[in-house]
Chain A
Amino acid sequence: DTGVSQDPRHKITKRGQNVTFRCDPISEHNRLYWYRQTLGQGPEFLTYFQNEAQLEKSRLLSDRFSAERPKGSFSTLEIQRTEQGDSAMYLCASSRQGSNEQFFGPGTRLTVL
């Protein structure tokens, strides 16, 4: 499968715990995006990487959220001290330089109890 992959697909955690998600983009794509989607809504932009550089973060992104893409390939999204309001589907998308087309992964569904 050469599409975008995400791991884990589901995560259930207790409030206050830290969680980390991984995204593997399509191999030749150097642009990587994280979005969050809650029930009945469209995906909401969180952050963007071009290669290993994080070039934009949403103003809505709490300080508890951090993302990395250390070698310009896979990316991780960490949420510290999770809250019930963090429960959502976290989607990763990638695109190649010069193309607008973004291809989405299957998402990680986070449930915070």
Chain B
Amino acid sequence: GENVEQHPSTLSVQEGDSAVIKCTYSDSASNYFPWYKQELGKRPQLIIDIRSNVGEKKDQRIAVTLNKTAKHFSLHITETQPEDSAVYFCAASTGNTDKLIFGTGTRLQVFP
């Protein structure tokens, strides 16, 4: 069935360093890949997304890359700040309804 794997489950970095989170999806028909940031007790918030006809997308300190052949996509955060600390979820949309299949999340901690 449809599945999204996400690694690592936890990631600790020093402020100013880069952070990379990687995901793999199973459904080759998936064509939309969003990333959500969820702070404790808050709703998931869309931070960046990429569609299958694009290989890379950047938005300030955040970038996402997609390798359709390998069914991999990654989130890159540069110059991390303490306020980047949160749980990050990757997802892949699938089916006619564009429902999202989520990864299991990465808890990012940025130490000052």
A residues within 8 Å of B by Cβ? 4, 31, 33, 35, 40-45, 48, 50, 55-56, 91, 95, 100-107
Contacts and interface: CB of A to CB of B under 8 A. Distances in A.
**SS class, residues of chain B in contact with chain A:** strand
A41 B98 contact: no
A104 B102 contact: no
A51 to B, nearest CB: 13
Nearest to B32: A100
Nearest to A55: B97
Nearest to A43: B102
Give the contact-size bracket for chain B: 20 to 34
A102 B34 contact: yes
A6 to B, nearest CB: 9
A44 B100 CA distance: 8
Contacts of A44: 102
Contacts of A33: 99-100
Nearest to B9: A40
